[in-house]
Amino acid sequence: MVWQLCGSVTRVGIARSGMLQGLDCASTVTFYRCDGRQPCATCLSTGEDCLYGAEAIPKSKSDLILDVVLRSENMLRAMSGHLVRAPTHSLLGPTSPVDPRIASSPLAFFSPLTIDTAHHPPSSPDQISNAVLPQFHSSTTESILAWPHFKDLQTLRRNYRGSVFQLESQRAPLRNRSSVVLPYMGQGELDCLLNSFERNVNFWYPTLSRTTRTEVEVRVLSNSLEEDVDSCLALLVMALGCASELVRCATTDRPDTPDAEKLRRWQLLSGLYFDIAFKKIYLAQAESCTEAVQCLFYTALFFAFLQRPIQAWSFISAAATKCRLLLSYSTSDTPSEKLECLRRIFWSCYILESDYLAELAALPHTGIAEIESSIPLPGQYHTHASSSTEEESSLYFLACISMRRLLNRVHDLLYARNNGVASDINQFPPVVAELDHQLNKWRDLLPSAFHFDLSRAPAGSMEAGFLRQRYLTCKSVIYRPYLTLALSLTTRADPISPMVYEGCKTCLEACCLHAQNLNAFPQTVMIDTWICSLSMASVMLIALATAADSSLRVCLPEDVTEIGPNLTKHLLRWMQVPGQGVSPSVLQSVRLIEDASASLDEILCG
């Protein structure tokens, strides 16, 4: 005798009603759990009527959650089915209009059922909106370098010494002074450094409150630097303040006549403060408090300034992990200022970790991206003396967060190793259209202080200029599938449809404008030189692959050969700013740019 008892709720109901009493001991009673579907798999296979959910018994929380999961999966599966059944897009003619029901959200093209479980942990229903950058995606600079179009270009291989991770992990360790004596710091110079920190680092990543700034000032002036986390934090703020002044001097003075004395002083002071702070960093690693998280995060920022990506990523990961811990155990008694600080560090780590994963796709994830939709966005926090500057900083921070979330979705939907649709012409056009729509909405919603034109005209502010670079990066990555498709078609002498051609043109315009608008934005020089060098190498490689194809060459700007020398000039200067050695991966990027530029000249002018 076999009983199919569909679902835990039904099973409990039957047991309580006494229907199992009086069974023959020789009878066999087999319980099959219902999988929650209507009808369930068991009832479907045996031809039984499925009664799961028919009985009037309250459902447990787990059953309610299961219902939500199943409804979500069914909805996403239906959307995926619409996409599969959509008319095939012809490469030789115009495409069919995109069904607005399908393209209403990029989530319509991404079903949890297709996630590679070897690299993505299972997610609960509320995590479906998390903007997670996939591991092992195919949009890194090293992925572009592996394109078959470059296999015969020996000049590109000549200076290629290995992967970014190999170069950076084999780099000589940071030189640490055995004994350090800090010079006297007067009130005027201290104010200068703290204001520089506030104007730059704390504007881009507004995580230090005015209260903590005052505490830092008191500690430094009174020389009350003990063996504790607060002293470590004060020293790191000073190190980043000196680095900010160093970047200001290196980028605002005339390039041909920088004030060498100023540069040497700020290089020395930033290194001295960081050396002492780094000797105390074990305290932050051992403690579990907001100040400890700040120390780990600021250490990551200083390593980013030193253009040491592996060390920067290591401390970003440490800060993110400890931040998650403290947020998980926060209570109603947790001071609101400390809670807001943790949230802001969380979002800062989210941005920076994603930036590093964009180029080092195999780096382990900290898990912050998997919970980002559950963490409140930045709220009230007193970070600047001026309320207007404080508001601008918060808005800028929000703009950077939303752009990073969109970039993560772009990488995931188009370039994820198993799920990305970038190689399928039947799928990527509506995805590209929707992502481009979201990108333009992001730009339209920027506050007036950060508005920018899509031209080579200088932006209204350094922040607007930096956001324009982010926008152009995103635009080029969104439309890159059209270019890779066109390059693969031309190797087979296939014609390029007008739709694909226009997509290539949009991609190349964004790529080249991104490189042409490169400038000494303080945030780029201080935090993103390593990222920038790889991004610019990608631009040159893409331009070179395009120039080698006669049908696509006309999409390049007339002055494309001027891009390489300009990039090299900027990067060679910026890689010398920290004054503590040169990043081998940045140097390799510069050499790739030079070699690609020479090959580009040969193709277009030779």
Residue 26 inside a domain? The answer is no
The answer, yes or no, to whether residue 416 has pLDDT greater than 80, is: yes
Q: In sequence order, what are the residues at sequence separation of 6 or more whose Cβ sits closer than 8 angstroms to the Cβ of residue 383?
A: 198, 202, 206, 207, 208, 209, 210, 390, 393
Given a cut of 50, is residue 93 above it in pLDDT?
no
Q: Which residues contact 605 (CB under 8 A, 6 or more apart)?
A: 561
Residues in contact with 115: Cβ distance below 8 Å, sequence separation at least 6, in sequence order: 419
Are residues 441 and 574 located together in one domain of the fold?
A: yes
Same domain, yes or no: 223 and 345: yes
Q: Is the pLDDT of residue 4 over 70?
A: no
d(CA 351, CA 71): 32
Find the range with the poorest average confidence among 109-113, 170-174, 440-444.
109-113
429, 564: one domain? yes
The whole-chain average pLDDT of the chain stands at: 81
Reduced to 3 states (helix: H, G, I; strand: E, B; else coil), residue 80 is helix
Q: What is the pLDDT of residues 270-320, one digit of tens each?
A: 999 999 999 999 999 999 999 999 999 999 999 999 999 999 999 999 999
**Tell me, what's the pLDDT at 550?**
86
- Asked whether 156 and 145 are in contact (CB, 8 A), the reply is yes
Query: In the predicted model, what is the mean pLDDT of residues 121-136?
Result: 63
Q: Please indicate, yes or no, if residue 31 is contained in any of the structural domains.
A: no
Query: Which of these three, 374, 394, 414, is where a domain ends?
Result: 374
Q: Above 60 in pLDDT, residue 12? A: no
pLDDT, average across residues 462-469? 97
Rounded Cα distance between 587 and 565, Å, is 14
Looking at the structure, tell me whether residues 442 and 580 fall in a common domain: yes
In a domain, 120, yes or no: no
| CB of 231 closer than 8 Å to CB of 222 | no
Percent composition of the chain: helix, strand, coil (DSSP 3-state, to 5) = 60, 0, 40
Q: Which of 374, 390, 416 is the last residue of a domain?
A: 374
On whether both 295 and 158 belong to a single domain, the answer is no
Same domain (yes/no): 197, 159: no
Domain-located, residue 53? no
Same domain (yes/no): 529, 584: yes
Is the domain of 204 the same as that of 297?
yes
Last residue of a domain, one of 316, 348, 374: 374
Q: Which residues contact 162 (CB under 8 A, 6 or more apart)?
A: none
Q: Which domain holds residue 321?
A: 187-374
Whether residues 443 and 496 fall in one domain: yes
Measuring CA to CA, which residue among 5, 40, 42, 9 is closest to residue 20?
A: 5
**Which of 201-205, 261-265, 336-340 has the weakest average pLDDT?**
261-265
Report the amino acid identity of residue 302: F
368 and 454 in a single domain? The answer is no
Instruction: Phi first, then psi: give them for residue 111, nearest 5 degrees.
Output: -105, 135
- Is the domain of 148 the same as that of 200? no
Examine residue 195 and state whether it is found in any structural domain, yes or no: yes
CA-wise closest residue to 98 among 505, 429, 481, 497: 429
Q: Is 338 or 48 the better-scoring residue by pLDDT? A: 338
- Residue 91 pLDDT exceeds 90: no
Lowest mean pLDDT segment, chosen from 21-30, 160-169, 519-528, 530-539? 21-30
Structural domain count of the chain: 2
Taking alpha carbons only, the member of 295, 300, 279, 285 closest to residue 230 is 295
* Lowest mean per-residue pLDDT among 103-107, 191-195, 450-454, 470-474: 103-107
